[in-house]
Amino acid sequence: MKYSGYLDLLKKSLVELDSWRNEYGKPIPEQDRFFLYDDVLSKLVSRLKGNYPFHHPSYAGQMLKPPAGIAWLAYAITSTINPNNHALDGGPPSSEMEKEAVADLAKMVGYDDFCLGHLTSAGTTANLEALWIIKQILPTGKKLAYSANAHYTHERISAVLGIDSIKVPVLSNGDYDWQWLVQHKSEIGAFVVTMGTTGMGLVEPLSKVIDFFEGDTCWIHVDAAYGGFYKLLESDLPSEADWAQVSLADSIVIDPHKHGLQPYGCGAVLFRNAEVGKYYKHDSPYTYFTSEELHLGEISLECSRAGASAAAFWATLQVYPLNKPGLGSVLTSCRNAALSFTAKIKGSALFSLVAEPELDIVIYYPAECKTTSEISAISKKIFDWGMKAKPDEGFHLSLYTLSSEIVSSENKNLKVDSNHTVVLRSVFMKPEHEAFVDELIQRLERAYHEAK
C-alpha cells in the first residue's frame, strides 16, 4: 500500500476543518515549536523502521496489522480536535458515532434494542468491565469459571476484582473436561466462553455450555475479543452452531482493533440486558450537564476515552459494513488463507499439522522429528532463520508452547521426552495473506532444510 496516495484526502479534510475553526474568529497563534517538527519526525520515521513488517503478508506472527486506510485517516483527522467521549459536551458528534457503531455491533451479534454497550480502550478493559458486572450479580458462594485456554487476563482480572474463580481443565482436543465440570457445576455462577482463543484460535462450545447450565442461574460471558467478527461468516465455520447462539450470552466482548481494522486501542463490551446500567449509577457535578440524553460515561468504568477511536470505527463501518459482503469479505480472505495454508501443510513431507484451524490461526511443526524436544529445537531454528533472512526471503511467525500430549496424540511414532513442545504458529489476519500462501510455504521449506 502506498500511503502517499492518502495525502490529498488528508489535506482536503484538514482544510475543511480549518474553515470550521476559523468561524470562531481569527486564529490565535499557537504556542508551538513547529520549527522542530521536521527533525523530530525524521528521527521518528527512522526509528519506526525498526518494526517488523506488520504490513506485509510475510508477517504472520502475532495479531498485528496496520489499520484500514479509512480508520487511520478518520482517527488522525478527529484527533486534531481531540474529543473526549466520556460526556456529550466532550465530543457530541463522536459520542453519537460511538452509539451508532455500537448499535451495529449489537445487531451483528443478535442483541435487541434493550441491550447496553460502548467502546473501550482495549479488550482487556472490556473484559474487566464485564467481570465487574458479574461481581455485582454473582450469588454468594458461587464462582466464576473459565477454561485453561482462556486469556490469562481473566485470572488476573478476577484477582484484581476479588472474584473467586476456578479454571476448567481442557482435554488434548481442546474441549472442556466435561466430567470435571459435572463434578463442579454446583460451584459455578458465571462462565466465560472464549470464541477465538488467542493461542490456537479455538472456538469454545457455547451451545453446549448453554445447554449444560439450562435451568440454572448462571451468567454466560462470551470473550470474543479476537474472534467476534467471525460471526459474519458463521455459516461457513465448523462452529456454526455456537456462533448461532451468541445472542443468548449475557455479555460479549469484541475487539475492533483486531479484525475490525482499527488502530490500537479499541475494544467493545455489550450487555444483553440494559438493566445492568443500574450498577454504573453515579454523578459528576461538572460533567453531565449539557444534555438529558445518555452520556457514555454513565455506562462505563472508564472516564476519558478517545473520541477519535469512535470516529475511526464509525467511518470504517461506512466503508466495510458489518455484513458478509462488507467486513465479511475481508474475513473470508483471512479464512481462505488459513485453509489454503493448512492444505499445503497437510500435503507437505516437511511439516505436520497440530489441528484443523477453526478461524485463521494455524499451528504446525517440523516433521521427520523423532522426539518432542527435537521438534522444539527445529521449530526455534526455523523461527530464527525467518527473522534473520533478507526481507524478500524471510518471514515472521510465532512460537507456541503446548502440551506434548497434544502433539503426540496425532503422531504415535513420536517419542515424548519433554512435558511441553514448542511448535510454529501463523496468524493469517491480513487479506493479503490469501495470495501469499504459496510463497510463504516455499520460504518455510527453505528454512526447514537450513534448520535440519
Enumerate domains of the chain plus CATH numbers.
88-319 (3.40.640.10), 327-451 (3.90.1150.10)
Write out pLDDT tens, residues 382-431.
Answer: 999 999 999 999 999 999 999 999 999 888 889 999 999 999 999 999 99
Average pLDDT, the chain: 93
**Cell digits for 130?**
464485564
Tell me the mean pLDDT in the region 11-16. 94
- SS3 annotation, the chain: CCHHHHHHHHHHHHHHHHHHHHCCCCCCCCCCCHHHHHHHHHHHHHHHCCCCCCCCCCECCCCCCCCCHHHHHHHHHHHCCCCECCCHHHCHHHHHHHHHHHHHHHHHHCCCCCCEEEEECCHHHHHHHHHHHHHHHCCCCCEEEEECCCCCHHHHHHHHHCCCEEEECECCCCCECHHHHHHHHHHEEEEEEEECCCCCCCECCHHHHHHHCCCCCCEEEEEECCCHHHHHHHHHCCCHHHHCCHHHCCEEEECCCCCCCCCCCCEEEEECCHHHHHHHCCCCCCCCCCCCCCCHHHHCCCCCCEHHHHHHHHHHHHHCCCCCCCHHHHHHHHHHHHHHHHHHHHCCCCEEECCCCCCCEEEEEECCCCEHHHHHHHHHHHHHHHHHCCCCCCCECEEEEEEHHHHHHCCCCCECCCCEEEEEEEECCCHHHHHCHHHHHHHHHHHHHHHC
pLDDT band at 74 (very low <50, low <70, confident <90, very high): very high
Task: Check residue 9 and give its pLDDT.
Answer: 94
Task: Round the CA-based radius of gyration of the chain to a whole number and report it.
Answer: 24
Of 34-38, 127-131, 298-302, the one with minimum mean pLDDT is 298-302
Q: What pLDDT digit, counting tens, does each position of 118-166 carry? A: 999 999 999 999 999 999 999 999 999 999 999 999 999 999 999 999 9
The per-residue pLDDT for 174 is 85
pLDDT in tens, 231-283: 999 999 999 999 999 999 999 999 999 999 999 999 999 999 999 988 887 55
For the residues 6-22, what does the mean pLDDT come to? 93
Task: Look up residue 213 and give its amino acid.
Answer: F
Partners of 253 in the β-ladder: 223, 269
